[in-house]
């Protein structure tokens, strides 16, 4: 365990935003997507500013925080894209699990081995950014094929998951397209959450920010959620 390290650019507690209860959230450096609206552009480059921690150090830190994990809390790994450090997080999550600490991961669904993490994740959060492969590639730089395949596996295995859609005007504001995709699987074990566009990261971009008029109206969100419910897709707000 001593030699394995994780690159982390930020860490801190939040309540119920990235999994249940009070959570210690680690933001991992590096992402394979280039979403044009990313609110953490500093996290994209694997070589970006961050600190390396050994799994041993992180485990000790998490164990010392156990009294803080109230209301079903625990540890969440997010990014960047945590699965970019796949073997390292697998080891860390396994040790957390063995210590009885609740584990969650927020990821973009693109890792072809995501399924290997299922046994060490209590709460799986996965983004689906666009239902259409070409549009997904245009807006994120990467195909949605792996994400769709992982969604299919999640649905087939009946495992719990929270699927998040960042809803952005002019990018993916098409509820019918998402419903078509989701209803091509049996999504009965899955919850969906619509996250309206924000610009918290706009000023952090060092190259021109390309999203214009990305904000969605509250009626768009309501219509989205209504269509999902009408089609048997469960919506929650965290
Ligand atoms: S997947 Fe997340 S971290 Fe990666 S570029 Fe997209 S929004 Fe940013």
Within the chain, which residues score under 70 in pLDDT? 1-2
| Number of domains forming the structure of the chain | 1
pLDDT of residue 172: 98
Instruction: Please name the residue ranges forming H helices in the chain.
Output: 55-64, 86-98, 133-140, 145-157, 175-182, 218-230
pLDDT of residue 99: 98
pLDDT of residue 71: 98
Residue 102: which domain range?
A: 5-235
Evaluate: CB of 42 within 6 angstroms of ligand 1: no
Which residues, listed in sequence order, are joined to residue 28 by a DSSP beta bridge?
Answer: 8
Ligand 1 pocket test, candidate residues 8, 9, 31, 168, most atoms within 8 A of CB = 31
CA distance 4 to 230: 47
Give Cα separations from 43 to 73, 119, 204 (angstroms): 25, 27, 11
Degrees, nearest 5: CA angle 91-164-83? 25
pLDDT of residue 1: 64
User: Cβ neighbours of residue 172 under 8 Å, at least 6 residues apart?
Assistant: 129, 130, 131, 135, 139, 165, 166, 178
| Nearest to 172, CA basis, from 224, 111, 238 | 224
Evaluate: CB of 108 within 6 angstroms of ligand 1: yes
CATH of the domain at 132: 3.20.20.70
Give pTM, 2 decimals.
0.97
């Amino acid at each position: 365990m001593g030699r394995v390290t994780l690159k982390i650019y930020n860490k801190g507690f939040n309540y119920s935003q990235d999994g249940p209860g009070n959570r210690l959230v680690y933001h991992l450096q590096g992402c394979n997507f280039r979403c044009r609206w990313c609110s953490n552009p500093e996290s994209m480059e694997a070589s970006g500013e961050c600190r390396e921690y050994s799994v041993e150090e992180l485990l000790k830190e998490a164990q010392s925080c156990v009294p803080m994990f109230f209301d079903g809390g625990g540890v969440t790994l997010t990014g960047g894209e945590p699965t970019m450090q796949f073997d390292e997080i697998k080891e860390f999550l396994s040790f957390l699990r063995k210590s009885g600490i609740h584990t969650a991961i927020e990821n973009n669904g693109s890792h072809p081995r995501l399924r290997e993490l299922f046994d060490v994740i209590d709460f799986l959060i996965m983004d689906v950014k666009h239902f259409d492969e070409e549009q997904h590639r245009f807006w994120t730089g990467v195909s949605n094929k792996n994400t769709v395949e992982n969604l299919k596996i999640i649905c087939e295995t009946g495992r719990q998951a929270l699927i998040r859609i960042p809803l952005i005007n002019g990018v993916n504001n098409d509820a019918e397209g998402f419903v078509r995709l989701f209803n091509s699987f049996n999504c009965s074990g899955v919850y969906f959450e619509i996250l309206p566009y924000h610009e918290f990261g706009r000023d952090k971009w060092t190259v021109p920010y390309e999203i214009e008029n990305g904000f969605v109206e509250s009626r768009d969100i309501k219509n989205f959620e209504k269509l999902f419910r009408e089609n048997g897709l469960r919506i929650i707000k965290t």
